[in-house]
Every structure is written in C-alpha cells, then in structure tokens.
Amino acid sequence: MENLTDSIVPRFLRYVQIWTTSDKNNLETPSSEGQWELARLLADELNVLGADSIEISDHCYVLAVIPASSGFEDRPVIGFMAHLDTAQDVSGKNVKPIVEKNENGETIIRSDGTTLLGADNKAGIAEIMGMAEYLLSHPDIKHGRVLIIFTPDEETGKGLPCFPMERINVLAGSGSGDGGQKTLAACYTLDGGPLGELEIECFNAIEAKIQFTGKVIHLGTARGELNNACLMAASFAVMLPRSESPEATDGYFGYYCPIGISGSLESAALEVYIRDFDLDRAKERAAALESFARAVEAQFPGGKVKVEWKFQYYNMKEKIDCHPEVLDKLKEAARRTGVEFFLKPIRGGTDGSRLTELGIPTPNIFSGGRNFHSLGEWISVSEMEAACRLSIELVKIWGE
C-alpha cells in the first residue's frame, strides 16, 4: 500500500481551517453555520472521488456509499463515522495548523497555540476520506458495500438528533444481494487517541440542570430577608465532591462536573455533567443531586432548588459484546497492519455510543490525536496514516 499521507494530510489541513465549533446552548441542529460549509465541501470531494448516493440531510448529516465490488454485493454492509464539529471549550476559529518535527523526529501537526487544532474529529474525517479515495481508486480490492457518515454536533452531547436512520437502512439494504439486510452490520468511529487505542466501552452520561430561586429585597434592608440565588448555586456547586471530579479521577472512576453557572439575586442556574461506567452508579449520582438540593434549601429557608436530569448516552459495551465479530475483525485488521492494539475505556462518549444504542454496534478507533479540546492539541501524521490503513484492511476483512 503506497504512502497515504499525500491524501490525508492536505485534507486535514484544509478541514481544520473551517470554523465548525458547535454551540451546546443552540437547540438547532446543526448548532453552527460552519458545519454546513464543511459538509458541502466533503460532499463535493466525495463526488470527485466517485462515491455513490451522496447526500446532505436537512440537519447536516453527510451520507455516501462506496459500492461493493462486483460479486460482493451480498457481503455485510459496514459504515465509518466521524463528526463535523469541534468543541467550544477553547476557540476553534482561525486555526493555523503547523506541520513540524517533534523532539523524537516524528512529523506532527499542531495549532499555533491560540486555538485548538480540531483533530477531534477532523482527523477522523480525513482518515475516512483517505480510505474512500484509496478504495475507489483501487477496484482490484474486493469488498462489500461501505457507508460513510459525517455527523453534526457530537460535542454538544445531543446524541445524534434527527439522525437519518431510515436513509441509512435504505442505503445499507439496497446493497444486499438477498434483500434481507436492513441496516449496517457494524459501524466504526475514528475518534480516538494514540496509535493502537481501540474502544468498546464508554461512560453513561447524564446532564443535570439545577434551577435556584431566591428572594430579593433591597440590600440595605436585607438582614434576615434576602435569599441570594447566586450564593445558593455556589453552595450547591461546592457540595459536589472534589475527589469525584474529572481532574481527580481516571480509569473506571466516574465523576461530577459543574460545567456552567449563571444567574442573579433572584434566579440562578447550574449545569452539571455526571459520568460513570456503571449505570446504577450513574443513577445514584443523579439521586445525590436531590440530596444536595434539599441541603441548600435548608441553608437558605424560603429558597427553592429544582433538579432536572436526563441521560445523554449510555455505555456501549454490553451491546457490542453481543456482537463479538465486530471487535474480532477490528483486532484482526490491527494485526494485519502491524498495529499493537490495546483496549481502553472512553472517558467520554462518541456518536458511536448513540448509534450502538440504536442497534448498530460501533467501536471507536484511534485517530492519532493528543490533548483534545485544548490549546495544546496535536496529532501524529504517521498515526493518522496507520488509522487509514487499518480502516482499509477492515473493509477487506468484512468482505472476505
């Protein structure tokens, strides 16, 4: 297999310069205009490459098909997925990617330190596009039908809103020789970290919104009368155990994380993320928020605290375990391409979490990136190429 960096790297450098930061406070999908720009670019590029059934949904999902080789139409249909948006934790506008050698002589790409890079997840997009280019330009490689899916607003935690499942089923089913297959046999996200990292389990994720209602009176006559909603919210926030925070945990330990606080004397709001690999433990954490709420009301007589929470996504491990061939083929692709793989729990989630919940097992593959969501984000060029090679090999294996 020839050098793939000539396909992957120029694409990646082009994609990261499109401002696609999503906005979790915008209920529309997509939540930012730049995602449309990238979606249209990708659709145009897929058209040039010769992909079939290229479309952009009303909510900015990009779909395309790499047709099956002649005689391989009855093979299982699989998909590859990556997301268009970047996180709003730090700026993703005017990204200036720098290609350089690090202290080990490895070629990396980083931002100039004023923005994130956008490897999460434009590296995955570039790697999938590199795979598509290779397969479409090498008809001698025999394989089944492959779907390409690019999604909006992954970083908002919305969980594939308005996902075009019916179109996915049509595109998958139309390639099956016996007409029996109605959806993908498996899908793979390329949204992971360093070389060899494969992921089949993730957090159960809960988003909690806590509303505080105080009692306002002139500050000059406030003694014994004022209930300060801002102070109520702050009191609640400090009840969240610091030993169970993102910065204090790793591995399989879950956490609470306040991610936003706002308000006035009369009304304040606090948003909290709960993450845990164990579903029952995640529910226990949500129940604990009610205890914190009652404790705050006791501190501020007359003040009111309302807690509302919902699941954002679930741990995908149990459902992937029901389809062992999905991981077995991934491991075999790693072996054949010389990648020393390891399984690691995702301390977060991917769109694959939600797709698995919808019935399509979707493990996550490394993309080569480091320090996601930060000004220090960077990615290894050789590991990007390795992810692309592994994906090509995975397509071959599913076609065997």
Please name the residue that has the structure tokens 């593959």.
Answer: 365
In this prediction, residue 85 carries a pLDDT of: 98
Could you state, in chain order, the average pLDDT of each consecutive group of 10 residues for the chain (400 residues)? 88 98 95 98 98 98 98 96 97 98 96 97 98 97 98 93 95 61 89 98 97 96 95 98 97 97 97 97 98 97 96 95 98 98 95 95 98 97 98 98
Q: Which are the catalytic amino acids?
A: 85, 154
Helix (H) or strand (E) holding 370: strand 369-370
pLDDT of the residue at 1:
58
**What pLDDT, on a 0 to 100 scale, did the predictor assign at position 182?**
66
pLDDT computed for residue 174 by the predictor: 60
**Antiparallel, parallel or unpaired: β 186-192 and 364-366:** parallel
Predicted pLDDT of residue 178 = 47
Alpha helices in the chain (DSSP H): 5-16, 34-49, 119-137, 165-173, 229-239, 279-299, 317-321, 324-336, 351-357, 381-399
CA-based nearest residue to 210, from 295, 85, 110, 88? 295
Please give the pLDDT value at position 177: 44
Distance CA 102, CA 380 (A): 10
Q: Which domains does the chain have, with CATH numbers?
A: 5-202+315-399 (3.40.630.10), 204-313 (3.30.70.360)
User: Could you tell me the two tokens for 354?
Assistant: 């939600």
Sort strands 146-151 and 78-83 into parallel, antiparallel or unpaired: parallel
pLDDT of residue 181: 55
CA distance 358 to 390: 25
Query: Do 274 and 206 touch, CB atoms closer than 8 A?
Result: yes
Return d(Cα 385, Cα 391) in angstroms, integer.
10
Determine the pLDDT at residue 173. Answer: 84
Q: Please count the other Cβ atoms lying within 10 Å of the Cβ belonging to residue 306.
A: 11
